[in-house]
Amino acid sequence: MEPVYILGGGRTDFKRNLKKEGKTIRHLIAEAGKKALDDAKTDPAEIQAAA
């Protein structure tokens, strides 16, 4: 099976105060990843691995 690459982009708001929101950098990484998948019009259930 050939590898498939997904091209999409996502970013978070740089002005947010994570401490006030009770969030960590991991939350931002997940949020940006979700936005990138949305941009690529890809269902997260279709992803087998990410690096």
| CB of 6 closer than 8 Å to CB of 44 | no
Element (H, E) at 19: helix 18-21
| CB of 10 closer than 8 Å to CB of 40 | no
| CB of 36 closer than 8 Å to CB of 26 | no
Euclidean distance between CA atoms 35 and 51, whole angstroms:
16
Count up the domains in the chain and report the number: 1
Range of the domain at 3: 1-43
- On whether residue 49 sits in a domain, the answer given is no
- On whether residue 22 sits in a domain, the answer given is yes
- On whether residue 51 sits in a domain, the answer given is no
Tell me, yes or no, if the pTM score tops 0.85: no
- On whether residue 14 sits in a domain, the answer given is yes
Comparing 1 with 43, the larger pLDDT belongs to 43
pLDDT, mean of residues 21-36: 90
Comparing 24 with 14, the larger pLDDT belongs to 24
Euclidean distance between CA atoms 4 and 18, whole angstroms:
34
